[in-house]
């Protein structure tokens, strides 16, 4: 397994899951501004979409799109929940990818102040909904973190970076994730505080 990642990007969720699994994997840092790997390869030649995460394995030349990559990593590492919890995990991956991750696009680029303010408000509302959907649970699915928790956690790091208002329960959730050894290791490997 080879993970193509960019520090602090959504690929951090896969990085956490791979570390947590204890399985051996390779990682390749990608400069998304230049679309080039740390070895100087054209990242578009590896992944025509040009963004991370991307994984290469015995099963795929390259697999992209965070929900697919995270679901695959969960299966590959044996960490995917079973039964109804599996589908709830997929449900969360879809919600996080479309409603939360997608909501950050005006903040990642050089958009107008007005559009950025609207994006922050919309994201704050989606995080209120996230809190409601969690219904007091510590984790999104089951009794412990899944790849969906990793993905939500990454978006909460972005919320802190961009000043998006969060409910207190999600601030506590972010702290709980920051205390996990796999999160500490992945963040250190990516050069994140």
Q: What is the pLDDT of residue 110?
A: 80
What average pLDDT score do residues 111-134 get? 96
Q: What is the pLDDT of residue 193?
A: 75
Give the CATH number of domain 2-78+183-189: 3.40.30.10
Q: How would residue 173 be classed by pLDDT, with cut points 50, 70 and 90?
A: very high
Residue-wise DSSP of 133-163: HHTT-SSSSTTS--HHHHHHHHHHHHHHHHT
Q: Is the distance from CB of 156 to CB of 173 less than 8 angstroms?
A: yes
Checking if the pLDDT of 129 tops 90, the result is yes
**CB atoms < 10 A from the CB of 128, how many?**
14
Q: Rounded CA gap, 70 and 12, in Å? A: 10
Q: What is the pLDDT of residue 28?
A: 98
Q: Give me the long-range contacts of 106-114 (CB less than 8 A, separation at least 24).
A: 107/158, 107/162
Q: Rounded CA gap, 49 and 99, in Å? A: 20
What average pLDDT score do residues 52-65 get? 93
Mean pLDDT of the chain: 96
Q: Please write the tens of the pLDDT for every residue from 44-58.
A: 999 999 999 999 999
Q: What is the pLDDT of residue 33?
A: 94
pTM of the model: 0.96
Identify the architecture of domain 84-180 in CATH: Up-down Bundle (1.20)
- Domains of the chain: which residue ranges? 2-78+183-189, 84-180
Fold agreement between 2-78+183-189 and 84-180: no
Q: Please write the tens of the pLDDT for every residue from 9-41.
A: 999 999 999 999 999 999 999 999 999 999 999
Q: What is the pLDDT of residue 60?
A: 83
Phi and psi (nearest 5°) for 132? Answer: -65, -45
Q: Please write the tens of the pLDDT for every residue from 107-119.
A: 998 888 999 999 9
Q: What percent of the chain is predicted at pLDDT more than 90? A: 95
Q: How would residue 181 be classed by pLDDT, with cut points 50, 70 and 90?
A: very high
Q: What is the pLDDT of residue 119?
A: 97
Checking if the pLDDT of 91 tops 90, the result is yes
């Amino acid at each position: 397994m080879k993970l193509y990642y960019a520090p602090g990007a959504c690929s951090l969720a896969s990085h956490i899951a791979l570390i947590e699994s204890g399985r051996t994997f390779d990682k390749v840092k990608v400069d998304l501004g230049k679309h080039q790997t740390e070895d100087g390869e054209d990242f578009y030649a590896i992944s025509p979409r040009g963004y991370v995460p991307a994984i290469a394995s015995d099963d795929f030349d390259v697999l992209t799109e965070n929900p697919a990559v995270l679901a695959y990593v969960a299966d590959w590492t044996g960490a995917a929940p079973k039964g109804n919890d599996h589908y709830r995990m997929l449900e969360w991956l879809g919600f996080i990818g479309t409603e939360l991750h997608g909501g950050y696009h005006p903040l990642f680029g050089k958009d107008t102040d007005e559009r950025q303010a609207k994006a922050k408000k919309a994201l704050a509302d989606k995080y209120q909904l996230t809190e409601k959907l969690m219904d007091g649970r510590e984790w999104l699915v089951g009794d412990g973190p899944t790849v969906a928790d990793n993905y939500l956690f990454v978006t909460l790091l972005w919320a802190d970076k961009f000043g998006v208002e969060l409910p207190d329960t999600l601030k506590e959730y972010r702290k709980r994730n920051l205390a996990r050894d796999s999160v500490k290791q992945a963040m250190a490997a990516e050069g994140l505080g």
